[in-house]
A and B are shown apart, each in its own frame.
Chain A
Amino acid sequence: MILTVILASLAVYSWKLLGYLVPERFITERFRGFADRVTVALLAALVAIQGFSTEGQIVIDARLGALAVAAVLLALRAPYILVVLAGALVAAGLRALGL
């Protein structure tokens, strides 16, 4: 298992390093705009997958309530740590109520 873990880590690391090895002259303004938009699209996809999927299936559960409360707190400019903590507490609370 340790060998598998190390190989997988190297595989993931290769992506991180690759981005720094591409010569600067290949990075056009247009490409910079794309890389910037990728950040937004990927974070949105991560919210969706982490919030609404379980083992490859779409599931609507207590996490929806947690995300709604998190969104309200973010709109009220609450600190990040409070937003994350509230997400955990709301989901735990809803599940304790059997939802």
Chain B
Amino acid sequence: MNRAVLSTSISVGLATGLYGISFGAIGVAAGLDVLSVMLLSLLMFSGASQFAFVGVVAAGGAPVTAITSAWLMGIRNSFYALRLTSVLGPRGLFKVLTAQLTIDESNAVSAAQIEPKDQKFGYWATGIAVFVFWNSATLIGALAGNLIGSVEEFGLDAAAAAAFLGLLWPRLRNQWQLAALGAAVAIITTPLLPSGVPILLAAAVALMPLGGKK
């Protein structure tokens, strides 16, 4: 166990909790009942997919559109899993549990470590911390949803942006060109394409040989 990694993991979990509150509140405001909002956090457990799902529901979209948007947003978890297979080496049924905790945060903390055992520990510590804080926070947000008013008023949308920037930061020194291009592709295509697709195009940027090794 590495105390510095554990502290990062708990800190990431707490920070995720901040916008977990915002997710719970947005979910209820979109017209979902508390049980549905909680099932999204427990079963889907992938922030961007959950926000995409709730966004479509709030806009009055069809169930199939909500499912597709969430699904498209989740493709990146497959890439994280491919990276993590060699780090974690899960076997048999254990893969089922390992897969559920495969998200932006657990992969980012793992990828930011140098030692293989820290990479493994960072994955599990962050995955579990985020699961606990994200779900508790969703419940608080969903129950308090009607009292909070708007998510923007409390800057909870900006907290999510800052959280992603914090996860990206350790990789910027060596891979800033790649990051800049990924962000640019997302910004340019967002007004033109359905939600979920710009994220996929940004992933395609990684096919280009930009930046050094981490």
Contacts and interface: CB of A to CB of B under 8 A. Distances in A.
Main secondary structure of the interface of B (DSSP, over half): helix
B63 A81 contact: no
A74 B98 CA distance: 30
Interface string A1-32: 11011111111110111111110100100011
A19 B79 contact: yes
B199 interface: yes
Contact of B183 (A7, A11, A48): A48
A90 B83 CA distance: 35
Contact of A31 (B33, B44, B82): B82
A49 to B, nearest CB: 5
Interface in A66-99: 66-67, 70-71, 74, 79-81, 83-93, 95-96
Given A17-B99, A47-B168, A58 B158 contact: no
A20 B111 contact: no
B41 to A, nearest CB: 10
B166 to A, nearest CB: 5
Interface in B159-178: 159-169, 171, 175, 178
A52 to B, nearest CB: 6
Main secondary structure of the interface of A (DSSP, over half): helix
A21 to B, nearest CB: 7
Nearest to A16: B99
Most buried by B among A15, A17, A35, A39: A39
A80 B179 CA distance: 19
Interface residues of A, number: 72
A9 B184 CA distance: 29
A43 B106 CA distance: 13
B167 A32 contact: no
Contact of A50 (B55, B161, B185): B161
A55 B69 CA distance: 13
A8 B54 CA distance: 11
B191 A57 contact: yes
B156 interface: yes
Most buried by A among B73, B76, B100: B76
Contact of B100 (A16, A36, A40, A52): A16
Given A5-B43, A21-B95, A39 B80 contact: yes
21 contacts: A5-B39, A13-B44, A16-B74, A19-B99, A20-B85, A20-B95, A24-B86, A32-B86, A39-B108, A40-B175, A41-B179, A43-B179, A44-B180, A47-B164, A50-B164, A51-B161, A79-B11, A80-B12, A81-B11, A88-B158, A93-B155
Interface of B: 8, 11-12, 14-15, 18-19, 32-33, 35-36, 39-40, 43-44, 46, 48-49, 53, 55, 59, 63, 66-67, 70-71, 73-86, 90, 95-96, 98-100, 102, 104, 107-108, 111, 152-169, 171, 175, 178-187, 190-191, 195, 198-199, 202-203, 205-207, 210-211, 213-214
